[in-house]
Structure 1
């Protein structure tokens, strides 16, 4: 057993209001320079929809991530021989139109316009060419268009569902999906890079780009199935989310998590067995990947795990943070958070609590009605959420939603001054202390409960192993 620590994030989709406040500080701090105009290390998408870049989830088009073939686990876009033969032409690379051509406006024309009978108007112009631009897409385009009616047919999460049914007003649904780099345990971007510029840090699992070694081959861009590696057209190098490592090294959370007005984000430490990565990523079926990944994650309360971790050099403050980790509770202990598209076999480390949605209530419905039946009658189809979060396996999604609903019904019975309804908790395997802890963390948690990160040891600047220079400074 080789124990490592991994920084991870959980996002509660039940509370996301789609305000994009998480995206703004990230954009202002990390992508505020020439060549990065179209980059959104963190963006918020409207679901259903095809996202940003367009149809990023459809690996029949983009061929990102890993596949399990006759020779075992392989990159979906091909190995070294394929990349060598196509090194000057990557057919799987997204074009700028699939993101969007960034634009601005000539505001001086408004300010300097002479007096006239009608209000002056200005056209958008490309930040790449300076020419007038006919706007076709943007990072939150589907949010503005209410998503489904325009692009629902291209959403791969409607697999095994009739899209036309959900185009009807009485059946339509919508929720928001914030996305950032998954900092995967088995990152396809790292494996795809011919120059070895991408790497995963030993101490915290953050995936970074060595700007000195990057040669702009862009195979990392096409190799990432989540399309969270970008190409800076000005510097000729790749860039991506760096999990705000200058902050996390000081024990502070990421900018996107700190700024979230809905308090939907939780950041903490997970312990995992690195020797099981290959086995989990090569699970025999897509639906088996999530259970295999769960088996990799270790219990920080287990005395044997703690002894082994200390023997292998994990610091005491890292182990203490792992024991208090909110992400471990949500992912492992309560099984409320699920990974995004585990079928990509990258073993992602950004997880999501699925959203509850209104239930079609019958006249004879009571609060004690069976939660499984209520989950089936939710406006957001279970099949859609399962395609998004568990490779189509509905069982984990049902469990998470049933437990969320049970806690909500239990707290409602308390707030209405009635006798505490514990039956709803018994049906989903929760006791009263656990329900209270779930409610506290998901509804009322303080900042130091939602974000639990250790600090780097003082006076040891070399503790984090890097391959050359990281970050985005003037040296590029």
Structure 2
């Protein structure tokens, strides 16, 4: 067992109001520069919708993530070394600028310098890329607030087969929720494995995935390999860029900018302990529907004496162990088991998780003529909610509706219990027992989800300067590297150190 620490995030989608404050503050902090005008390290998508870039979830088209070969081994969906070498200068599996959107500026000089007259001057849009007049026809969230749903939402890759027939895009019958997205900082990142120059790397001390700008050669294989399409190319420098998880703030013990400025207080940051030796095995789980449990099994209980002893032996500081025990992320993912990863079928083992949205379930009970005080009636209504279980399952559980239903039932029981407590009653303990919660656990979960204080939502231990010196002085490896090649150390940011065109496979093979 090789214990390592990882900073992770959980987002409660019930609390996202789609205000885009997180996107704007991230944009101002990280991509307010020439060359990345079109890049949004954090964006908020309206679901159902085709997303940003368009239909990024359709891996039959974009070839992102991992798959299993005939012998059950992890392989990149984008192909092996030979294929990447042959397409080094012409990669066919890349979204075009029209799939993102063409960044624009405006003829501001026309407004400022227009002569006096009867006509009102206008500022026409011009392409930042070409400088020529253009039309604004797409954006990072064109479907926001159902604005494009009738025209575009039917192209959502999660609405395939019979589900497309079930969902009708009519105002009185449709549904929507907001999905904030950023780099998943995966345990088994496909972008790192696909990078020919070794520029993509995963930090040993906290798991954050970054790009070494000095080593990046702009091959763009990382863009293809990332199934979430959260790696961008700076068209001015030709280098890859991506979400940094605000590592300077993390090192100072502060939350990310998107978390700090979130109006809905829906984001949680914390530390997780995991067994690095089991990452490849978990990612290679044969049945896609078992990937969620396999990833949870990789995570370790920070209160277990054996885990604590092994973590100390691995050099994890005491304050980090204390932070892991207080982690709201571990509580939501492993203790209460209500947080789910985005598209686990990509086999990247993402470390940004989501609490799925719960529709107004008591309204559904009343509409069906049921008793709102009867747990059986309430739980049965979960299957008839406005947001189809199949849709949420396609997003978060590789199509397993039972797993999603279990989470929603737990949230429903919690909501019913707290509603009765608010009304001065004893609470719905029968409903809690049906979903495996005690009254005390329900109270704790309610405090965490609804009224958690700042220090309870963000438990981020500060970096240790002595660890940085130690990492500089010794060779370190990528957490999931098994190829036998030592990685080059560079301060606290440890790179894979792989030779050019050698493919590193975090699942365990080169």
- Kindly indicate whether the alpha-carbon contact (under 8 Å) linking 2:375 and 2:430 is maintained by their aligned counterparts in 1: no
How far is 1:69 from its partner? 1.3
How far is 1:68 from its partner? 0.8
Give the secondary-structure state (helix, strand or coil) at the position aligned to 1:82. helix
How far is 1:459 from its partner? 5.4
Partners of 1:467 and 1:131 in 2: CA distance: 46
- CA displacement, residues 264-301 of structure 1 (integer Å, 9 cap, x when unaligned): 00000111111111111111121121111111111111
Question: After superposition, where does 1:196-207 map in structure 2 within 5 Å?
Answer: 196-207=198-209
- Kindly indicate whether the alpha-carbon contact (under 8 Å) linking 1:209 and 1:470 is maintained by their aligned counterparts in 2: no
Per the alignment, do residues 284 and 214 of structure 1 end up closer, same or farther by CA in structure 2, a change over 3 Å counting?
Answer: same
How far is 1:117 from its partner? 3.3
How far is 1:118 from its partner? 4.2
- Kindly indicate whether the alpha-carbon contact (under 8 Å) linking 2:42 and 2:182 is maintained by their aligned counterparts in 1: yes
Deviates more, 1:39-48 or 1:143-152: 143-152
- Kindly indicate whether the alpha-carbon contact (under 8 Å) linking 2:106 and 2:124 is maintained by their aligned counterparts in 1: yes
Per the alignment, do residues 144 and 405 of structure 1 end up closer, same or farther by CA in structure 2, a change over 3 Å counting?
Answer: closer
Per the alignment, do residues 464 and 415 of structure 1 end up closer, same or farther by CA in structure 2, a change over 3 Å counting?
Answer: farther
2:29 counterpart residue number: 29
Partners of 2:251 and 2:471 in 1: CA distance: 9
- CA displacement, residues 167-202 of structure 1 (integer Å, 9 cap, x when unaligned): 233320000000000000000000000000001011
2:139 counterpart residue number: 138
List alignment gaps of at least 5 residues for structure 1.
472-476
2:54 counterpart residue number: 54
List alignment gaps of at least 5 residues for structure 2.
473-487, 494-510
1:381 aligned residue (357, 377, 388): 388
Matched, 1:105 2:112: no
Deviates more, 1:67-76 or 1:377-386: 67-76
Q: TM-score under structure 1 normalisation?
A: 0.96
Per the alignment, do residues 449 and 464 of structure 1 end up closer, same or farther by CA in structure 2, a change over 3 Å counting?
Answer: farther
- CA displacement, residues 289-330 of structure 1 (integer Å, 9 cap, x when unaligned): 111111111111111111111112111111111000000000
- Kindly indicate whether the alpha-carbon contact (under 8 Å) linking 1:46 and 1:146 is maintained by their aligned counterparts in 2: no
Partners of 1:15 and 1:109 in 2: CA distance: 42
Partners of 1:455 and 1:405 in 2: CA distance: 36
How far is 1:146 from its partner? 2.9
- Kindly indicate whether the alpha-carbon contact (under 8 Å) linking 1:202 and 1:464 is maintained by their aligned counterparts in 2: no
2:92 counterpart residue number: 91
Q: TM-score under structure 2 normalisation?
A: 0.89
2:335 counterpart residue number: 333
Matched, 1:179 2:181: yes
Per the alignment, do residues 463 and 433 of structure 1 end up closer, same or farther by CA in structure 2, a change over 3 Å counting?
Answer: farther
2:399 aligned residue (389, 392, 395): 392
Question: After superposition, where does 1:35-434 map in structure 2 within 5 Å?
Answer: 35-71=35-71, 72-143=73-144, 145-164=146-165, 165-359=167-361, 360=364, 361-370=367-376, 371-434=378-441
Deviates more, 1:165-174 or 1:88-97: 165-174
Per the alignment, do residues 108 and 281 of structure 1 end up closer, same or farther by CA in structure 2, a change over 3 Å counting?
Answer: same
- CA displacement, residues 138-165 of structure 1 (integer Å, 9 cap, x when unaligned): 1121116534312122112123444244
Per the alignment, do residues 464 and 446 of structure 1 end up closer, same or farther by CA in structure 2, a change over 3 Å counting?
Answer: farther
How far is 1:469 from its partner? 9.0
Partners of 1:438 and 1:464 in 2: CA distance: 38
How far is 1:381 from its partner? 0.4
- Kindly indicate whether the alpha-carbon contact (under 8 Å) linking 2:205 and 2:492 is maintained by their aligned counterparts in 1: no
Per the alignment, do residues 162 and 79 of structure 1 end up closer, same or farther by CA in structure 2, a change over 3 Å counting?
Answer: same
Partners of 2:207 and 2:490 in 1: CA distance: 17
Partners of 1:457 and 1:69 in 2: CA distance: 42
List 4+ stretches of structure 1 deviating above 6 A.
none
How many residues align structurally?
471
**Cα RMSD for the two superposed structures:** 1.7
Deviates more, 1:298-307 or 1:107-116: 107-116
Deviates more, 1:123-132 or 1:357-366: 357-366
Deviates more, 1:371-380 or 1:34-43: 371-380
Per the alignment, do residues 5 and 123 of structure 1 end up closer, same or farther by CA in structure 2, a change over 3 Å counting?
Answer: same
